[in-house]
Structure 1
Amino acid sequence: MSAESSTLDNTNIILDDDLNYLNINLDNTSTILDDAENSIQRKLGKKKDKVWDYFNVIDIPNNPYKRATCKYCSQSWKRGKPIEMKSHLALRCPKVTHSIKMEYLYAMSSEDIPKQSTNNRKNNSNEIDIAKVNKTLIRFFVCCGIPFSVVDSPFFQDFVKSLCFEYELPKRTALSTTYLNEEAANILLKIEEELHESRNLTLAEFNEKQLLKVIEDVGKDKFIAVVSDGEAAIQSAKKRVTNKYSHIMPIRCIAHHINLVTKDIISIEWAKKTLQNCQKIVSFFHDVRAGAILRNEIKNSFSKGNLKSSVKTRWS
C-alpha cells in the first residue's frame, strides 16, 4: 500500500508540474498574440472611421492620403477628410438615405467641445462655456450677414478681448466649417423633430384661402377659371374653389404640358445631338470673330429677331 501511495503521489506531482507548465505556455502565447496585435495596429495607424463605408476610396500614387467619392451622389474629394465627409452626409448630399443622414446629424450636433477655464479676481474657479459662446457667435455672424473674415480683424479681436480676455476666438476656417455645420445640424434636428410630431401637413388649405381671397377681392363674377400646373396641393386647392364657385373651372396650364412633352422629346438621343449641333452654330456666331462679322451682316437684312440659345425654362 505504501508503494502504491508513493506512486500516486509522484503521479500527482508530475501532473501538477505539467499543468503549471501548460498554464505558463498559455500565458506566454496570449502575451505574444497581444503584442502582435498591438504591433499590427501601430503599423496600420488608428482605426478607420465608419464614415469611409459610405465612400469609394481611391489610392493616390506616392501619397499616403486617399481620394474619396460619395457612393450616393458621386461627389469627390482629392483628399478624403472624415469631418468633411460627415458634414456632406448630414447636410449636403441630396441622395443619402434618411437613416444615414439622421445618424450624422446627431453625431455632428453631439460633438463634445471642451470648456475653457479662466482666472477671475473675484472667483478663481470661474469657467467659460465655450460651446455656448461659440454657438452665440456663429448665430451672430450668420443672422446678421457678417463675413467670417471679420474674425481675423485685429479690431474685432481687441473688442472680444475687452469683453473677456481669456476667451480665444475660433479660427475663421473653424467658424465657417465646424461650428457652422454643428449649428446647422442642431437646427435641422429641431425641424425634423417638429415635423415628426406634426400631422396632416398640406398646403392645399393655405392655397385655397389665398385663391379665395383674390377672387372675392376682385369679384367672383370676373373669374371663369383658375389655371395652374399639376402640383398636388394646388390641384386640391382649385377643386375646393370650384366646389364653392361652380362657374370657376380648374384648368391645367397647357404651356406647362407642352414644355414637359418638349423636354421628353429632346431627351431622345437624336434630338439631343441635333440640339447640341444647333448650340455649336449659335456659339460660333457669338464667340468667333468671323462669325460675329457674318452675324452683323445677316442681321442688317432683318428688321427684328436674333440668334437664341437653348435654355431650360422654370418648369424644367
Structure 2
Amino acid sequence: MLWSPGAVMITELDKEGSSRASRDFSITTVSGRSMNINNNQTKVSIKPQSSVFAGDTVTLSCEGRLTERKIIWYKDFQTMTNDDRTLTLRDVGVSNGGKYACGVLHQTIQSPRVTLSVRVRPKPVARVHPDGRALGGQTVTLTCELRETDVSSWTYSWNKDDSPVHASRSPEYRIGSVDESHAGRYSCAGHEIGGSRHSHTSDEVTLSVSGPSMREPLFNVLLVGVISGLSGAFLLIFILALLFCCRRNKGGRSLSPSPDRRPPTISQTPTPSGSGTVNGTSRTNYVEVNMKSMEETKKKNKGEECYDHIYSKLSF
C-alpha cells in the first residue's frame, strides 16, 4: 500500500478484534516504508472572522495540547518567522490573505489549514433628493449606496455634522417636512449585520433648507384681492347703469300732451243780462267746457300710450 501525507483515522482493536476507540491522526512524512503518524490535536482560530477588509486587525491562535512547545506558523505551506502561539496581523492588506496553519517546532505536526480572505474596504456614495436647496415642508430622501461587496446585509448609519442622527437596515433615510434645523452636512457608512466588517465613511453631501417664500404668497393674495375688488366694482357699476337706463326709459315719456292731443276747448260765455240775481259784490262767471270721450281719444291715438288726464283751459 502506498501512503501519502494527509489525515487518517486509526481504530484501536482489542485482542478479540473488537473496536475500542477511534482517533484522528495525521500522516506528515513518508520515507520508504516508514511514515510519521501523529495525534491531530492542534487547530487554528481566526478572530474576528475569516473574511475581513483591508485595514482590519486579525488575530490567529494556535490551539491544542501544545504545553510549552515552540510554535511554528505556516502560510500557503511556507514557514513564517513568528514563534508565538498567537499571530496578530495589523492593518492587513489583500496580500495577507491565504491559508494558515500552525505546528510544533522540530515536529512534522501541522494543524488543519484555515483560509483568511482580505478584500478592499468599500466606500459608499451618499446622495440627497431633491438635489440642491429644499423648501421647508418638503420630504427629503438621503440614499447610501454600497456596491461590489460580499456582505449580504448592512446596517446604514448617518451622521449630520459629524454627529450620529440615524441608523437602520434601509439604505434610505427619509426626512418628512424638513425645516431649517435639518440643514447640514450628511455622511453615511455601512456596518455588517452579524459580522465585524464596516465600510469607509462616504463623502459628505450638503442639505440646504429654506423657508417657504413669503413674497410670492403675499403678492398672490394682493393680486386676488385687487381682481376681486375690481370685478365687484364693475359689476356694481353695471347694475347701477342698468337700473338708471330702465328708470330713464320709464320716466322719459312726457306727461304733457302732444300737439295732437289738444285739450278740450273751454270758452267763457258772458253772463246773460237779467239772468240770476247778484247779491252784494259777488261776481259770477260761466265757463263752457267741451269734454271729449276717452274712448275717442284712445282710438285717435291708437298705438300710443295714453294717460287718463283731462286738460282744460279756462278763459276768464
Q: TM class by shorter-chain length?
A: under 0.3
Identify, as 1 or 2, the structure richer in helix. 1
Q: Compare relative contact order (CA 8 Å, sep 6+) and give the higher one, 1 or 2.
A: 2
TM-score normalized by the length of structure 2: 0.19
Identify, as 1 or 2, the structure richer in strand. 2
Asked which structure has the greater CA Rg, the reply is 2
TM-score normalized by the length of structure 1: 0.19
